[in-house]
Amino acid sequence: MSNTAIDTIIPETELKPKAQLTGKVVKTTLAGAIVDVGQAVPGIVHISQLQSEPVKRVEDVVQVGQEVNVWVRKAKADRIELTMIEPLGLEWRELKPETVIKGKVIRLETYGAFVEIGAERPGLVHISEMAHGYVKTPQEVVKEGDEVDVMVLEVDRKKKQIRLSMKAIQPEPEEAVREEASPRPERKRGAKKGKPKTEVYEMEKEPSVPELTAFELAWQAALDRSKAEKAAKNKKNKTENKDQEDIFDRTLKNRLPTG
C-alpha cells in the first residue's frame, strides 16, 4: 500500500463511527474514490459522501494522490466505508432527554435562544427555561456567541425540534433552598401529632342565629298565642264532650226498666 499520514494500523474493531482519519486517494471511479488510510482493507468514499453539494464527477472534487481528511461511517471485514463530509456531533438517535451538552448561542428571539449543539438543527431554550425566576428578554441572560451548558428536555424527530433547558442544570435559588430547609412551625403544647385542629373549623361550620326584627318578633308572638288558644279550645271541647257523654250514660241508665 502507498504511504499515508497514518503509519500505525488500527484494528478494524477499534474503528468506531465518526472516527477521523487522514488518507491518500489511490483511485477514482464513477461511483467514488478509494482512499488508503493505512489499514489492511481499503477505504471507500461514495460519490455522495465527497461533499455536501451534489457531485457530477468524482475528479471535480478529488484527484489521485491527494491527501484528504475522512471520517469512518462503518467498518466492515472487506472495506471501510468513509465520508469526507464532517459528521454531526450528535445524531437524532443520540439525543436523549436529560443529556447535558455544551453549545453555543447562535440566535436570539423574543421567545428564547437557539443553541448550536452539533446536531442537524440547533435546539431552542425557551425563555421560561433560561433561568430560575422571571426573565423578561433572553438578552438579560445570554448573548449571541455565548457558550452555555444545556440539558435536553424533548426531541421531536418528525418536526426536527429539540427543546433545551439552561435552568434544569442551574442550582436552585438560595431563597427556595432556605424555604425547603427551614423547619416547620412548632405545634402548640398539648396538641397531638397527626390530629388537625378542629376548633376553628367547627366554629366556621356552626350556623349563626340571625337577630329577629320587631316585625318578626310580633309575628312569632301572634303565632304562639294562636297555638295556645287552639290548644285551650281543643281541651275545652274534649271536656264538654266528656260531660255530655256522662249525662247521656246516666239518662239511659235511669230509663232502663229494672228487673
Q: Across the strands, what pairs with 147?
A: 104
**144-194 tens-digit pLDDT:** 999 999 999 999 988 989 999 999 999 887 755 555 555 555 555 555 555
pLDDT of residue 196: 43
108 vs 175, more confident? 108
Q: Whose CA is closest to 102, among 151, 141, 145?
A: 151
The mean predicted confidence, pLDDT, of the chain is: 79
Helix/strand/coil for 141: coil
- Identify the three-state secondary structure at position 73: strand
Task: Select from 170, 164, 167 the least CA-distant residue to 152.
Answer: 164
The domains located in the chain, with CATH, are 12-83 (2.40.50.140), 92-169 (2.40.50.140)
pLDDT bucket at 128, cuts 50 / 70 / 90: very high
Query: Looking at per-residue confidence, does 27 or 179 come out higher?
Result: 27
Quickly tell me which residue has 474514490 as its cell. 33
**Distance in Å from the first CA to the final CA of the chain:** 161
How far apart CA 46 and CA 203 sit, in angstroms, is 85
Residue 84 carries which DSSP code? S
pLDDT of residue 187: 54
The x, y and z cell numbers of residue 90, run together, are 450528535
Neighbour-count burial of 257, counting CB atoms closer than 10 A to its CB (0-12 exposed, 13-18 middle, 19+ buried): exposed
Residue 123: C-alpha distances to residues 64, 94, 116, 135, 217 (Å): 40, 14, 6, 19, 77
Three cell numbers, residue 190: 398539648
* DSSP symbol at 229: H
Q: Which residues have a Cβ under 8 Å from the Cβ of 58 and sit 6 or more positions away? A: 28, 29, 30, 32, 33, 47, 50
Q: Check residue 157 and give its pLDDT.
A: 87
Write down the pLDDT at residue 110: 94
* Three cell numbers written together for 194: 397527626
Arithmetic mean of pLDDT, 21-25: 95
pLDDT tens-digit map of 216-233: 677 777 777 777 777 777
What would the pLDDT profile of 40-86 be if each residue is shown by its tens digit? 899 999 999 999 899 999 999 999 999 999 999 999 989 999 999 98
> What pLDDT score was predicted for residue 258?
53
More confident residue, 118 or 197: 118
